[in-house]
Amino acid sequence: MVTKQFSGSAEDADLARADSLAREIFSDVANKWALLIIEALGDRTLRFSALRGEVDGISHKMLTQNLRMLERNGLVERTVHPTVPPRVEYTLTGPGRALRATVDAMCAWTHRHLGHIETSRRRFDA
């Protein structure tokens, strides 16, 4: 095994790079629309317009923007059928489905603690 000489080594640089990458990914993914899209997709394959119908309140622009980002990070797969009118389908990839599991957990958490949060809010707002 190679001996570490001092801080500031190549391994440290790698770790720093990995950390900043992790942080970047986290920032991409940890936003309302991205998580709602992942949750809405589930294990289905949906067209753009259908998907938009599932994610309540999302605008055309936000949907495309977030879908591009998710595709870039390899969380959703985009399939274009060269027909007219065009038919584009979205589905979660392996990593995407893995992330969905944790989003499911977050949703479950939300519903489980609705009551606690509501009363906490009322107390705080007074």
Partner DNA sequence: CAGTATCCGAGACGATACTG
Partner DNA sequence: CAGTATCGTCTCGGATACTG
Interface residue list for DNA (CB under 7 A): 31-33, 47-50, 57-62, 64, 67-68, 78, 80, 85-88
Q: How far is the CB of 114 from DNA (least distance, A)?
A: 22
Both structure tokens of 79: 């399939």
Q: How far is the CB of 5 from a second copy (least distance, A)?
A: 26
Which among a second copy, DNA, none contacts residue 67 (Cβ within 5 to 8 A by kind)? DNA
Sign of the C-alpha dihedral computed for residues 64, 67, 73 and 77 taken in this order: negative
Measure CA of the first residue to CA of the last residue in the chain; give whole Å: 61
- Report the C-alpha dihedral over residues 81, 82, 85, 91, rounded to 10 degrees: 20
Please name the residues in contact with 66: beta carbons below 8 A apart, sequence gap of 6 or more: 31, 33, 34, 37
Q: How far is the CB of 34 from a second copy (least distance, A)?
A: 9
Which among a second copy, DNA, none contacts residue 120 (Cβ within 5 to 8 A by kind)? a second copy
Angle at 74 between CA 72 and CA 80, to 5 degrees: 75
Provide the binding-site residues for a second copy, judged by CB under 8 A. 18, 21-23, 25-27, 29-32, 35-36, 56, 71-74, 95, 98-99, 101-102, 105-107, 109-114, 116-121, 124-125
